[in-house]
Structure 1
Amino acid sequence: MTRQSRGGGSGGIGTSSPNVRDEFIDGAQAGPDRVQLRRRLGRADLAAVSEVRGALREFLRRWGKPARADIAELLTSELVTNALVHTDHDAVITATLSRRGLCVEVRDFVGRRPEPRVPDADSGTNGRGLILVQSLADAWGVRAHGVGKVVWFELNGGGTA
Structure 2
Amino acid sequence: METKEPEAGGPMSVGLPSGKQRRRLTLTGVPGPVAKGRDFTRRTLRDWGWDRTETSEDTLLLVSELLTNATLHADGCHELVLTADETALHIEVHDGTTTPPLRHSAPQRGIPGGRGLYIVERLSDRWGTHTYGTGKAVWAEIEASRLKNGTAAER
Change (3 A) 1:39 1:129: same
Q: How does 1:146-157 map to 2 (within 5 A)?
A: 146-157=133-144
Change (3 A) 1:51 1:89: closer
Corresponding residue number in structure 1 for 2:37: 52
Count of aligned residue pairs for this structure pair = 139
Instruction: Give 1:95 deviation, angstroms.
Output: 0.4
Instruction: Give 1:33 deviation, angstroms.
Output: 1.3
Paired residues of 2:75 and 2:95 also in contact (CA < 8 A): no
Structure 2 length normalisation: TM-score?
Answer: 0.78
Q: Distance in 2 between the 1:88 and 1:25 partners?
A: 25
Instruction: Give 1:58 deviation, angstroms.
Output: 0.8
Instruction: Give 1:40 deviation, angstroms.
Output: 1.5
Does residue 104 in structure 1 map to residue 73 in structure 2? no
Does residue 22 in structure 1 map to residue 3 in structure 2? yes
Change (3 A) 1:158 1:51: same
Change (3 A) 1:54 1:73: same
Corresponding residue number in structure 2 for 1:6: none
Does residue 38 in structure 1 map to residue 19 in structure 2? no
Does residue 82 in structure 1 map to residue 63 in structure 2? no
Corresponding residue number in structure 1 for 2:127: 140
Q: Distance in 2 between the 1:57 and 1:104 partners?
A: 13
CA RMSD, Structure 1 to Structure 2 (Å): 2.4
Q: Secondary structure at the match of 1:158?
A: helix
Structure 1 length normalisation: TM-score?
Answer: 0.75
Paired residues of 1:43 and 1:88 also in contact (CA < 8 A): no
Instruction: Give 1:76 deviation, angstroms.
Output: 0.7
Corresponding residue number in structure 1 for 2:109: 121
Instruction: Give 1:43 deviation, angstroms.
Output: 4.3
Unaligned runs of 5+ in 1: 1-19
Instruction: Give 1:68 deviation, angstroms.
Output: 2.1
